[in-house]
Structure 1
């Protein structure tokens, strides 16, 4: 299992974010049938945690299972979310054909822990709205990363929870969470929750073992896609019959 020190160091800004995505076209598969959601609901309201440490939205028995390993500070992940989250949910998840799971892969080390811990702090149902809004906020957050190496040096002797709290303060995520109804005391408790921190380190190790080398990394029914953009992911879904 990857140690916490290994997860925090080195701090490589934006490394492993993006790249690849030249998936060769394949012949369309047989069309997958839509599945009606329970009465009075739509499948996007069905959200649960997974054994692999992710959060999944949609029909639990969807024939097409899309998994994204991502970082909330990754611009390429943000581009995917801003272009693709709405059509993915509206056109594919709500049909019952596709479920969508997100797992954290913290390519930037310490800075990534702050939004990941806060994004999981509110519980299951708010997970995906918070995720989408964090990606939408990247234009105001990412400029604050410009001196990240220097800032990390000033806090590197502090315990991990204190480092993550310092990053949350610097990047504006504590105010971000408060504006969405989370009490500040709860947010700060989540940032220093050692059990949650250890779990994120384990999930990263699991991702590396599964072949994740950067973000975003997409898997469809367990097979890694050579895709990073919504256009490429959507084509893969269509090729699979969605």
Structure 2
């Protein structure tokens, strides 16, 4: 279905991004991976997916520009890279705020602005931004993350309107809690901030928000990304797709 399409997936060396990259590759897309990790593991992933890899630091606009140049014309852009920090606002380190906003939001702007000209010229393109349930609701101690994901949702709507007559769509996927390194990594900070045990964080904080009482699986998100790339989804744009076990239905 996606033969001849080139897809760049940021934050794709693990977790949600890797699941999306695998799903797009299974449909025939050529993949450009981006993300962190050990070289040997990244080499294995690149070989598995017959993919290119670019390790650009997405906190650096100049590095993003070079990555987009090296990647070549991109037909499918998945802005998935993200980071989290958990702390009360009065204790939130300004450097952490800047980093979360830079990676979760500003990098999405830079990749999009550089990908859109080719998509418009071709008359076809797909922009998929990984937002979060936190793009429509909030949790305490996550001010930077909540702010960045709300902003990604608004940015996506704006881009969708700008590109509405070009054959290019822009949508968000907003997962609830997915068992990924990002989620696992924030558990100790949440334990400290709330004075809870690990089990209490998992059961009473994370899964408490999802009526299904199940973590979202990365492969489910990959399948949704594939749908958004299908020709049948050509009139699906500006939407924020919740895949959160019913969290934001409440």
TM over 0.5: no
More helix by share: 2
TM-score by length of 1: 0.30
